């Protein structure tokens, strides 16, 4: 197996009497978009800071599969000297890391981050969202192999968030990306790998699809032309149905004991009560429900 | 855009250069003027009292200039230098710089060099003003003493800015770094006074070099203090980088 771009071995970080991270084995594979999710105070920023070399572990170690200079990190609330222009900030990032890149890469990075129009404005007047975009531009200008974003879209409006996630999706074609977020929909939208942190422990790490499919419950949603009550009563009488609950607008949630029986028999039950079937599909597990399930339990041993 | 250019832009866009220049040039102009006309000044504000001032000499004119430059000028220099060198005061900006620099030396050395150069240039302009004023109003001043004294001050300013760098390794805040430096710079001359054997080695001795050379001392009398200043500056820079490397952001 190829060496990961970033991994930690039994990493532990303690601040005074607070254990920020405990026995964390992070593994970020090359080419992946790794989403680090967790409640506030879970240790996401600390973990990114450790990988970036801005903090030192109390125990354990950090291993990078790329040169440190080929890695770039953006903090959650970027701040710059206010008297610099946006172009100067990005150019400083380029010159410090990759002076061999042409000066035109500064304008390209600013354009990608949506700041082309304000390239020559001083950053002192920038909004928090603009500063976050500027942080992204300064992070991507040197074309790093590993990009780390700490809450990259937290200060952005919905459109800005959409654009940043689109950008991250495009960047994933040439870089490995590790980003933290408490907005689970963002992670689900762009990540292929996810790590779930709670109270400094990594509760899950692996492909997002696997996480979601492993936790798919035996739940279906059937939609018929109303009224839905006859169908609900008929289904409730089936031995393979555990519970039914109406969702409104002709939709009915069915929790079953057997996926095979449900898939074989639901259509027959619909037919038996004369209902007109519009759709029948498994209820998709989303990251939010899985996250709540994972993080609502007792602290893991 | 390099760190060198960043520091130059910091000086000029934030008007720090004006603060530096004003703090040295103003006293360079006022020193000879006040020395030359102090009797008249005392007479006009003295309410009939007769105050006898010593006759104006180049040494007194430069003592007046350097007295203010070594206090107000150096304090302004220290605070402006701390604003640049205490970059960890803003963790997000520190993260930007630290994750991109090849070494902490790439950050600290340009900041110290640009700040020392700016302060030295301001001091040199103040000295030229004092020199011209003294020559016109009081008496001739030997050019060699001026040049050697300015060089001595450059070494002292380099030492002061290097101490700021060291203090920035001890304190994250701008005020903390500046405060620590001011304490060190205040304590040094006191130590030199208490222990006369130390005086010829102390960097603070360089502050009065111009006056003493105007009064006839040789530049070589300050060689030991100059050498110690260079050594301590290098040591402070090394210590600064060690401390900054140990700090978490």
Q: What is the pLDDT of residue B29?
A: 94
B233 pLDDT higher than 70: yes
- What is each CA distance from A73 to A76, A145, A155, A179, B99, in whole angstroms? 10, 11, 17, 9, 7
Q: Which residues of A235-256 are buried (b: 16+ CB within 10 A; e: fewer)?
A: beebebbeebeeeeebbbebeb
Q: Give the model's confidence band at A300: pLDDT under 50 very low, under 70 low, under 90 confident, else very high.
A: very low
Q: What is the pLDDT of residue B125?
A: 96
Q: Give the model's confidence band at A285: pLDDT under 50 very low, under 70 low, under 90 confident, else very high.
A: low
State whether A55 and B13 contact (CB < 8 Å): no
> Which of helix, strand or coil describes residue B131?
helix
State whether B6 and A54 contact (CB < 8 Å): no
Q: What is the pLDDT of residue A99?
A: 93
What is the mean pLDDT of the segment spanning B218-225? 89
CB-closest option in A54, A56, A84 to B99: A54
- What is each CA distance from A111 to A72, A128, A138, A153, in whole angstroms? 19, 18, 12, 17
Most confident of A210-214, A262-266, B164-168: B164-168
Q: What is the pLDDT of residue A160?
A: 81
Q: What is the pLDDT of residue A248?
A: 86
Lowest mean pLDDT among A196-200, A293-297, B158-162, B232-236: A293-297
The pair of three-digit structure tokens given for residue A190, joined into one six-digit string: 């762009």
A25 pLDDT higher than 70: yes
A297 pLDDT higher than 70: no
The pair of three-digit structure tokens given for residue A269, joined into one six-digit string: 């039950």
Q: Give the model's confidence band at A216: pLDDT under 50 very low, under 70 low, under 90 confident, else very high.
A: low
Q: Give the model's confidence band at A288: pLDDT under 50 very low, under 70 low, under 90 confident, else very high.
A: confident
Q: Show residues of chain B in contact with A138, CB under 8 Å.
A: 96
Write out pLDDT tens, residues B29-78: 999 999 988 878 877 776 666 777 788 888 889 999 999 999 999 999 99
Q: What is the pLDDT of residue B218?
A: 86
State whether B96 and A138 contact (CB < 8 Å): yes
Say what the ipTM of the complex is. Answer: 0.87
Mean model confidence pLDDT for chain B:
92
State whether A80 and B10 contact (CB < 8 Å): no
State whether A91 and B1 contact (CB < 8 Å): yes
Q: What is the pLDDT of residue A299?
A: 44
Q: Show residues of chain B in contact with A77, CB under 8 Å.
A: 92
Q: Name the residue with tokens 């720090």.
A: B16
Tell me phi and psi for residue A220, to 5 degrees.
Answer: -125, 160
State whether B6 and A81 contact (CB < 8 Å): yes
The distance of Cα B151 from the centroid of its chain, to the nearest Å, equals 12
A2 pLDDT higher than 80: no
A157: which DSSP letter? -
Lowest mean pLDDT among A74-83, A203-212, B145-154: A203-212
What is the mean pLDDT of the segment spanning A199-208? 90
Write out pLDDT tens, residues B89-118: 999 999 999 999 999 999 999 999 999 999
CB-closest option in B6, B99, B249 to A92: B6
Helices (H), chain A: 44-52, 86-97, 104-112, 128-140, 158-171, 184-190, 208-214, 229-236, 259-272, 287-295
Q: What gap in Å lies between CA A26 and CA A28, rounded to an integer?
A: 7
pTM: 0.83
The pair of three-digit structure tokens given for residue A189, joined into one six-digit string: 């939208």
Write out pLDDT tens, residues A163-176: 888 888 888 988 99
Alpha-carbon gap: A69 to the closest alpha carbon of chain B (Å): 7
The pair of three-digit structure tokens given for residue A285, joined into one six-digit string: 């597990």
Q: Show residues of chain B in contact with A78, CB under 8 Å.
A: 92, 96
List A180's β-bridge partners, or say none.
Answer: A36, A150
The pair of three-digit structure tokens given for residue A252, joined into one six-digit string: 């009915």
Write out pLDDT tens, residues A41-85: 889 999 999 999 999 999 999 999 998 889 999 998 899 999 999
Q: What gap in Å lies between CA B84 and CA B115, rounded to an integer?
A: 9
Q: What gap in Å lies between CA B128 and CA B28, rounded to an integer?
A: 7
State whether B98 and A78 contact (CB < 8 Å): no
Instruction: Pick the residue from chain B with its C-alpha nearest to A68.
Output: B99
B74 Cβ contact partners less than 8 Å away, ≥ 6 residues apart: B157, B160, B185
Q: Which one is predicted more confidently, A23 or A285?
A: A23
- The DSSP secondary structure of A33-93, one letter per residue, reads EEEEE--TTSSHHHHHHHHHTSS--SEEEEEESS-GGGEEEE-SS----TTSBHHHHHHHH
B206 Cβ contact partners less than 8 Å away, ≥ 6 residues apart: B152, B153, B155, B156, B222, B225, B226, B229
List A241's β-bridge partners, or say none.
Answer: A256
Instruction: Pick the residue from chain A with its C-alpha nearest to B98.
Output: A54
Task: Answer for the pair B153, B123: CB distance below 8 angstroms, yes or no.
Answer: yes
Instruction: Pick the residue from chain B with its C-alpha nearest to A56.
Output: B248
Cα angle for residues A54, A56, A57 (degrees, 5° grid): 135
What is the mean pLDDT of the segment spanning A256-266? 85
Lowest mean pLDDT among A261-265, A280-284, B104-108, B171-175: A280-284
Write out pLDDT tens, residues A120-135: 999 999 988 889 899 9
Q: Give the model's confidence band at B236: pLDDT under 50 very low, under 70 low, under 90 confident, else very high.
A: very high
Q: What is the pLDDT of residue B199?
A: 86
Q: What is the pLDDT of residue A298?
A: 46
């Amino acid at each position: 197996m190829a060496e990961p771009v970033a991994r930690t071995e039994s990493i532990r970080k303690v601040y005074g009497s607070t254990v920020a991270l405990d026995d964390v084995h992070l593994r970020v594979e090359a080419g992946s978009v790794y989403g680090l999710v967790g409640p506030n105070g879970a240790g996401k920023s600390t973990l990114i800071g450790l990988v970036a070399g801005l903090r030192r572990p109390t125990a354990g170690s950090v291993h990078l599969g790329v040169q440190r200079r080929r890695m770039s990190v953006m903090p959650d609330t970027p701040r710059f000297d206010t008297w610099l222009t946006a172009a100067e900030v990005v150019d400083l990032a380029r010159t410090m890391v990759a002076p061999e890149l042409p000066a035109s890469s500064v304008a390209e990075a600013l354009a990608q981050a949506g700041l082309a129009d304000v390239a020559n404005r001083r950053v002192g007047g920038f909004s928090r969202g603009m500063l976050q975009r500027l942080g992204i531009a300064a992070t991507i200008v040197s074309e790093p192999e590993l990009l780390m974003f700490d809450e990259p879209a937290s200060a952005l409006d919905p459109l800005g968030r959409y654009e940043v996630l689109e950008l991250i999706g495009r960047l994933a074609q040439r870089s490995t990306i590790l980003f933290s977020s408490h907005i689970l929909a963002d992670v689900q939208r762009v990540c292929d790998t996810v790590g779930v942190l709670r109270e400094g422990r990594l509760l899950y790490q692996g492909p997002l699809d696997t996480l979601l499919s492993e936790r798919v419950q035996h739940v279906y949603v059937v939609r018929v032309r109303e009224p839905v009550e006859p169908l609900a009563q008929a289904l409730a009488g089936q031995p393979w149905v555990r519970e039914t609950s109406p969702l409104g607008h002709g939709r009915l949630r069915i929790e079953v004991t057997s996926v095979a029986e449900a898939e074989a028999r639901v259509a027959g039950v619909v037919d038996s009560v004369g209902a007109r079937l519009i759709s029948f599909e498994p209820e998709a597990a989303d990251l939010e429900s899985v996250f709540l399930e994972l993080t609502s339990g007792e602290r893991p041993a | 855009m390099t760190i060198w250019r960043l520091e130059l832009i910091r000086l000029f866009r934030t008007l720090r250069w004006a603060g530096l220049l004003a703090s040295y040039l103003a006293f360079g102009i006022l020193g000879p003027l006040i020395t030359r006309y102090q009797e008249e000044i005392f007479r006009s504000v003295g309410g009939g009292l007769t105050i006898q001032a010593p006759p104006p000499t180049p040494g007194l004119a430069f003592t007046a200039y350097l007295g203010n430059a070594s206090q107000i000028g150096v304090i302004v220099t220290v605070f402006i230098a701390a604003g640049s060198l205490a970059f960890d005061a803003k963790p997000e900006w520190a993260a930007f710089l630290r994750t991109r620099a090849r070494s902490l030396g790439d950050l600290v050395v340009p900041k110290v060099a640009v700040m020392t150069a700016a302060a030295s240039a301001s001091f040199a302009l103040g000295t030229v003003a004092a020199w011209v004023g003294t020559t016109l109003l009081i008496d001739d001043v030997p050019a060699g003493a001026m040049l050697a004294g300015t060089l001595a001050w450059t070494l002292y300013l380099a030492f002061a800015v290097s101490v700021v760098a060291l203090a920035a390794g001890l304190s994250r805040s701008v005020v903390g770094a500046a405060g620590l430096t001011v304490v060190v710079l205040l304590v040094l001359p006191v130590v030199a006074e208490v222990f006369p054997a130390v005086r010829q080695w102390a960097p603070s001795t360089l502050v009065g070099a111009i006056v003493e050379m105007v009064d006839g001392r040789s530049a070589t009398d300050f060689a030991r203090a100059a050498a110690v200043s260079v050594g301590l500056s290098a040591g402070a820079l090394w210590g600064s980088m060690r401390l900054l490397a140990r700090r978490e952001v």
